[in-house]
Each structure stands twice: as C-alpha cells, then as structure tokens.
Chain A
C-alpha cells in the first residue's frame, strides 16, 4: 500500500504532510509530557523488529501464498498509540529512503494511510474498547479471544480505511484514468483478504506475548481486572457498529457514483460498455458523471498549462514535433554529460 510520488499531486501530498505532521506533533507532545525517554530505545528496537518482521513470509495454509505482519496494530498494542505512530513514521521513512518503498513526497500520505489508522483508529476504536469490554466475561479464555478478535478486526478495518484513503488521494490528484468506482472495487477486496491474514499473524504474535510476558501489552491489566468500571459490552458494540457503518456505508455510497465500473469491465455491455469502447468507438467512450465533470472543470481551471496545444489545433503538429525534437536535444545533452563525466573520471583515475 506504499504510494509512489508519481501517484500524488503536490497539493494532496502537502495536505497529507500537514495532517500527518500534526498527528506526529501531538504524539511528540504527549511523549514529552510523560517525560518517558526510557521508551525511546524500546520504540527503536520494536520499530526495527517490525521492519524486519515485515520481511518474513508467513505461509497461508492451503493457498501456497504468504502474508506479512501488520505493524500499526502490533506497535500500538505494545507501545501505545502515540509511541506506535512515531515508530511507524520512522519505519516508513527508512523504507522510503533506503528501499524506495513509497516516495519521499508521498511519505505524509503513507504515514496517514498506514500509521494513523493502524495506531489511532485501531487502538482507540478497536483494541482499547475491546480489551476493556465485558465481552466473554467469565469465560476461561476471554483475554485471548479479545486479543485475537481485536487484532483481526483492527487489521481488517484499518487496512480498509488505508486502502480507501489511497483511492481518494490518487483520485483527488487526478493522475490515473481509472474511475473511482473501479479503483475502489479493485482495492477494497484485495485489502480485505490481506487484512484478514495480517490480522491473524498479528494475533498469533500478540497471543504469544500474552502467554510469555503479558505485562508488555497495553490495556491488558485494566482490561481483565477493571472491566466492569470501563466500557460495557453495549458501548463496545456501539463503537464497532459506528465504525462499520462509517467505513462500509461511506465506501458503498462512494462506489455507487459509478456502480457498474468493475462489472462493466468484466462482463461488457453491448450498447455502450467498456468491451465495445476499448479502441472502437472513441466518441462514446468514457463514463460521464457529475463528479467527473466537476473534477474536470476544476482541473481545467487549476491546470498550469491548460491550453497546451494538442489535438484539433493547427499548431498541434508543430508543437508536438518541436517538443519531440527538443526532448531529443535534452536527451542528447544528458548523454553528453554522462560521456563527459566518464571522460573526466577516467582522466582523474589515470592521474591518480
């Protein structure tokens, strides 16, 4: 789900930087308030562990494929949401800088999509309420079931939110021609499966920690002993229902703007569908909607070079040829620079 720089418009990237920066600021302030610098090495080592853990493949039984660990939920369960968020930011920064996994300009968006939802939504709306709830109260394995349930639910819901944010950010940037409905239709189901697998892996690790060193998990002591004084089952279910309604309802409403995108592309439509439009009837091509028209109007107004001559213009051919020739000159200059660089390096090594 790491977004590349090319997927984002500068305005969207800057907005996401501001949003993630604000959250990071709040987290830093909260950690300073606690004056808990002892947490710093723990955060660093745990972040490094999640980084390494995400490179380990876990076999999914019966499928032949493998899954990975979900960092956000694991870190917030171990360190709390603020420290977890900052650790995720650092992981994403290292992935971006040293492994080109996600762009430098898209770092703000990636932090929001993968760290914010995983650490804050996952923690405050799923992990904490569930751990404090009276769900399965009196049952022998109540804590274990709650850990597993919150891990799986947390991973699924936060990954869905992250995937939906990717669609929104990419669509708001106007870089892909893929209709929003189709994009949502592709992204959400894939991440539903990924979320389920990641949730199960995260649950397995957290359950192991619970068995071996339960004091390392946040909210656990209070959750098992003071459950009655905190969230009731009703409150927990109400919060979870609200999350499901917001996520599910929001997605379906958005998708309904282009309800037939994926079905069209899959099954075809003999009158005006994709199967006929693919290269045959250019005038009838495209899905028109008010949203798309509005977006196009905004894009026309905000485009830096809106009237850059292309089709239909008398000067189009000239412009294109000039552009091509100019590009060739630039390419030639680039090759020349490389050759000169090589020449001077050879000269330097000869003198050396």
Chain B
C-alpha cells in the first residue's frame, strides 16, 4: 500500500472510530475540545524535571480510552510512525545536561535523563489527548464546536470542505501514482521530467471540479454557511466532565500527587 492509500484508510478508520456510541462520544463536542486544550496546555507546562508530577496526568487518557471503548493499542499502532519522532526530540538532553539529580543505589540519574523522559512523556500525552478528541468526535461536530467558539464560518466551512475533498483528491492522486509506478518499475518517486505535469494535470482537473462543485452548491442554496443541526445540547454530564477534568488537571499541576502517594508508603 502506498503512502496515499495508507492515508486514505487512516482517515476512514478515524471516521469509523468517531462514529462510536460510547459515553465519551455522547459528550458535547465543545466540552471535549475545551478539556483537550486545557489538558495539553497543563501537560506541557510541567517543569522539565517534574517527571513524577507529570505521571499522574497519564490517568486522564487511560480513563478516556476505557470510557470511549477504544483499545490503547489502536493509538500506538496508528501513530507508530509519529511516536518515535516525538520521542526523538529530547534524545540529546542526556549528553548535554549531566547534572546529577538523584541516585538509586550506584546508578546516578542526571537531569538530562529526567528531562528527556519528561519531554517524551509530554509528547505522548499531548498526542493521546488530540487522538482521543478526533477519535470520539466527528469532523462536522468539531466544526460545529469551533463555530460556537466564534471561529469564522469561512474557516470552518473550508475545513469541512477540505476534509471532504482530501479523500477524493487522494484517491485520484493514488491512482495516478500507481499508474506511474507501474509504467516505471523500480523507480523511486516521480522522475524530474514529469515533476510539473504529474501534479499539474491533477491540479487543473481539480480546479475545474471546484467550479462545478460551487455551481452545484449554489443550486442547492449555499450562501456561504453550513448548518450544523445535529450537535447535541450541552447536558449536565458534559458540564460535569469539564468541571471534574479541569479540577483534576489543576490539582495535579499544583500538587505532586505521585509524591504524596509515595509519602503514604515511604517514611
């Protein structure tokens, strides 16, 4: 499967996940968006050496994965390419920050090691939160939530339309790419002689298609705005979700819960 077909199936799989019916899927999209953004902001605000404080934040995605009935392995499998890149960010830290922080037996743990682990964990947790949001909220609901936040309708309509056409154009590009590779066996990528014409042809066809699309939209009464009628009302459960989640995040940020729990056991 080439990169384009892979991306197409990834999009389809995300749509299937988002169409679920779990408790998390039923929450108001705006509430989920607010909680996700708050979570990511709080996660990245942890100090680079505060690994034990950060670990408590793992509980949110773990709980959400269970409540959304999405196996955690789906996340790790889908992001198998991105995760190593996120984790690679802090790899230089152990070599550059050699200040000893603590010692376990004969093993000296330096600041660089702790900051590297913190950075990796931050990256994974932020990715998990974004993944959970998209895996439990269909794109139209997400755009509806953005409209409620007064994001301009041009931008939300553009996001919806682009998302719709990404699949279509990727399908065409994939077919072209496959046809090209069948005629050029053993060649990696598009040859320099076809650099312009390959995507140029697709671009020209797409521009014509855009005009046809606009004409058909006008015929159906499009006047610059999409209407999002299916967004559920904000129930008490959604409000409670926001309050409880944000209180927990704030609490975890201010108090080192892991350290407190540890103190109960270690004297």
Q: What is A's interface to B at a CB cutoff of 8 Å?
A: 4-10, 13, 24-25, 28, 31-32, 37-38, 40-49, 51-53, 55-59, 61, 64, 66, 69, 78, 86-87, 89-91, 93-94, 96-101, 103-105, 174-179, 200-201, 204-209, 212-213, 216, 278-279, 282, 285, 303-305, 308, 310-311, 316-327, 329-331, 333-334, 337-338, 340-341, 345
Contacts and interface: CB of A to CB of B under 8 A. Distances in A.
A41 B217 CA distance: 9
B58 interface: yes
B173 A317 contact: no
Contact of A46 (B123, B126, B192, B207): B207
B192 to A, nearest CB: 5
A85 B172 CA distance: 24
Contacts of B209: 45
B195 A282 contact: no
B102 A317 contact: yes
Interface size class of B (residues with CB under 8 A): 35 or more
Interface string B65-96: 11101001000001100100110011011011
- B37, B209, B261 — which one has the most chain A CB atoms within 10 A of its CB? B261
Contacts of B161: 40-41, 43-45
Given A4-B126, A204-B196, A216-B204, 13 more contacts: A6-B123, A45-B206, A46-B207, A52-B166, A52-B170, A87-B162, A103-B123, A279-B98, A330-B58, A330-B258, A333-B59, A341-B69, A345-B69
B163 interface: yes
Contacts, number: 344
Contacts of B223: 37
A207 B7 CA distance: 28
Given A40-B224, A205-B195, A326 B260 contact: yes
A280 B48 CA distance: 24
A55 B3 contact: yes
Interface of B (DSSP majority class): helix
B156 to A, nearest CB: 10
18 contacts: A41-B161, A42-B207, A44-B158, A52-B169, A57-B189, A100-B82, A100-B127, A176-B89, A177-B112, A177-B115, A200-B195, A205-B199, A216-B207, A317-B102, A322-B262, A323-B256, A338-B72, A341-B66
Nearest to A287: B96
B166 to A, nearest CB: 5
B112 A337 contact: no
B177 interface: yes
A305 B95 CA distance: 24
Interface string B192-227: 100111111111101101110110010000011000
Nearest to B212: A41
Nearest to A216: B207
